[in-house]
């Protein structure tokens, strides 16, 4: 199914009313859309139904969107409380997956989700969702974000009946945050429905400037200094218009970079006219984490799937690079990027 139908909304309403314990999950290393959709879903359920509603996530990252959890309920994080997180999923009467194409993107939560016999609902905007596991699948790529799709869906619920002001300000703020981050503050993936959703939220009183300040103007100085260093001295551009940055563990430590503080750096090289794709690589635990962004007409997803064990959206994807499987040593990442992008664009033309 694409968007939620009125009939399906009625069914969800009766399901939400019956379930004792609902667990809401999203992808590992949650970003604004993940955190925003989880908090909005929880607030909607808390505001309208009895029972227990819990957000369970694989891990927390140091991102500006964590302010949402202050009024959305602190999640149970698997990396901090594995037993509690596992038990919550095992006991759940309903599992709602948000902003993931399937359980595989939820990190350590995956095996508990797959083992659960509870009904499972998906709200997501990624390519190629895993269909078999979900009892209700709301999946649409013609939206900016999961938050936009969730807003569209919540408006169809009987108690909301199209009236934005019946959603709490906390729920709407969380939704607006996810839309703001997934569109890079309305720089990409903006559909007519995106602006209609935002217009409704603004009219209902959401403080967009406060969100923008939280998300874009509360970085630590270290991140901005690292960004300057990377753009000035580390970024390279191939003859095919692929900009790439490989951030070593050593540089990361030198700038005291914390988990989550590298968010968005991959977008910057796209500001150069001749660059059609940007690849950002950094060391993670035992592998290299890859972020890919592209301009219209070039597929970030295609290259992520083919060469980086990943996927995502057409113009924004991610993946991983393993050694010695993909490259002999981690130091070979730059050569690998040059080789595979050269091959990819040769085949494309």
Q: Which residues bind Mn ion (CB under 5 A)?
A: 33, 99, 145-146, 182
- The residue ranges of DSSP E strands in the chain, in sequence order, are 21-25, 52-57, 76-77, 94-98, 120-124, 136-139, 236-237, 242-247, 277-283, 288-294, 311-312, 316-321
Q: Is 178 in the site for ligand 5GP (CB under 6 A)?
A: no
Toward Mn ion, which CB reaches closer, 36 or 241? 36
Toward Mn ion, which CB reaches closer, 58 or 99? 99
Q: Is 291 in the site for ligand 5GP (CB under 6 A)?
A: yes
What tokens does 42 get?
Answer: 């929880």
Toward ligand 5GP, which CB reaches closer, 72 or 312? 312
Residues 6 or more apart whose Cβ sits within 8 Å of residue 293: 266, 267, 270, 277, 278, 300, 315, 316
Toward ligand 5GP, which CB reaches closer, 186 or 322? 322
Size of the site for ligand 5GP (CB under 6 A): 11
Contact present, 33 and 178 (Cβ < 8 Å): yes
What tokens does 32 get?
Answer: 């604004």
Which segment (61-69, 78-86, 207-215, 306-314) binds ligand 5GP by CB under 6 A? 306-314
Output the CA torsion 280→104→23→184 (10° steps).
30
Toward Mn ion, which CB reaches closer, 143 or 243? 143
Out of 312, 326, 333, 345, the residue judged to bind ligand 5GP by CB under 6 A: 312
Q: Is 102 in the site for ligand 5GP (CB under 6 A)?
A: no
311-312 β-sheet, strand order: 236-237, 242-247, 277-283, 288-294, 316-321, 311-312
Q: What span, in angstroms and rounded, lies between the C-alpha atoms of 65 and 32?
A: 6
Q: Is 276 in the site for ligand 5GP (CB under 6 A)?
A: no
Q: Would you call 42 exposed, middle or buried from its count of C-beta atoms within 10 A (0-12, 13-18, 19+)?
A: buried
Q: What span, in angstroms and rounded, lies between the C-alpha atoms of 320 and 290?
A: 5
Q: Is 260 in the site for ligand 5GP (CB under 6 A)?
A: no
With CB atoms as reference, the residue minimizing the distance to ligand 5GP is 318
Q: Is 106 in the site for ligand 5GP (CB under 6 A)?
A: no
Which segment (144-152, 226-234, 246-254, 316-324) binds ligand 5GP by CB under 6 A? 316-324
Q: What span, in angstroms and rounded, lies between the C-alpha atoms of 32 and 187?
A: 15
Toward ligand 5GP, which CB reaches closer, 220 or 320? 320
Contact present, 164 and 203 (Cβ < 8 Å): yes
Residues 8-67 contacting ligand 5GP, CB under 6 A: 27
Contact present, 42 and 48 (Cβ < 8 Å): no
Toward Mn ion, which CB reaches closer, 100 or 155? 100
Q: Which does 319 bind (CB under 5 to 8 A by kind): Mn ion, ligand 5GP, none?
A: ligand 5GP
Place of tokens 């936009």: 148
Out of 87, 306, 320, 338, the residue judged to bind ligand 5GP by CB under 6 A: 320
Out of 30, 36, 75, 310, the residue judged to bind ligand 5GP by CB under 6 A: 310
Q: What span, in angstroms and rounded, lies between the C-alpha atoms of 211 and 67?
A: 10
What tokens does 136 get?
Answer: 């209700």
Q: Which does 170 bind (CB under 5 to 8 A by kind): ligand 5GP, Mn ion, none?
A: none
Out of 262, 319, 330, 344, the residue judged to bind ligand 5GP by CB under 6 A: 319
Toward Mn ion, which CB reaches closer, 33 or 58? 33
Q: Which does 317 bind (CB under 5 to 8 A by kind): ligand 5GP, Mn ion, none?
A: ligand 5GP
Q: How far is CA 87 from the centre of its chain?
A: 24
Q: Is 306 in the site for ligand 5GP (CB under 6 A)?
A: no
* Residues at the interface with ligand 5GP (CB under 6 A): 27, 291, 310-313, 316-320
């Amino acid at each position: 199914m694409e968007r939620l139908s009125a009939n399906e909304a009625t069914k969800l309403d009766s399901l939400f009313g019956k379930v004792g314990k609902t667990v809401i999950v999203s992808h590992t290393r949650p970003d604004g859309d993940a955190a925003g959709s989880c908090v909005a879903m929880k607030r909607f359920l808390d505001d309208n139904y009895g029972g227990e509603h819990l957000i369970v996530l694989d891990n927390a990252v140091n991102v500006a969107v964590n302010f949402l959890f202050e009024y959305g309920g602190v999640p149970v994080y698997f990396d901090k409380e594995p037993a509690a997180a596992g038990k919550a999923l095992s006991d759940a009467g309903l599992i709602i997956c948000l902003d993931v194409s399937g359980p595989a993107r939820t990190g350590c939560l995956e095996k508990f989700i797959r083992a659960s016999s509870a009904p499972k609902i998906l709200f997501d905007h990624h390519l190629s969702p895993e269909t078999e596991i979900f009892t209700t699948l709301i999946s649409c790529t013609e939206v900016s974000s999961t938050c936009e799709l969730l807003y569209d869906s919540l408006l169809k619920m009987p108690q909301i009946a199209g009236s934005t002001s019946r959603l709490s300000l906390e729920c709407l703020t969380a939704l607006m945050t996810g839309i703001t981050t997934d569109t890079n503050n309305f720089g990409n993936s903006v559909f007519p429905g995106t602006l209609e959703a935002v217009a409704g939220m603004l009219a209902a009183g959401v403080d967009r400037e406060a969100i923008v300040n939280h998300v874009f103007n509360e970085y630590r100085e270290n991140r901005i200094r690292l960004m300057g260093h990377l753009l000035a001295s580390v970024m390279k551009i191939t003859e095919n218009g692929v900009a790439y940055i490989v951030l070593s563990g050593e540089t990361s430590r030198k700038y005291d970079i914390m988990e989550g503080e590298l968010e968005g750096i991959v977008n910057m090289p796209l500001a150069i006219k001749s660059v059609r794709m940007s690849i950002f690589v950094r060391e993670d635990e035992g592998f290299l984490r890859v972020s890919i962004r592209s301009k219209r007409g070039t597929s970030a997803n295609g290259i992520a799937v083919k060469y980086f064990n990943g996927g995502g959206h057409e113009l924004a994807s991610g993946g991983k690079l393993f050694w010695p499987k993909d490259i002999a040593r981690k130091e070979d990442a730059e050569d690998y990027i040059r080789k595979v992008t050269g091959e990819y664009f040769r085949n494309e033309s």
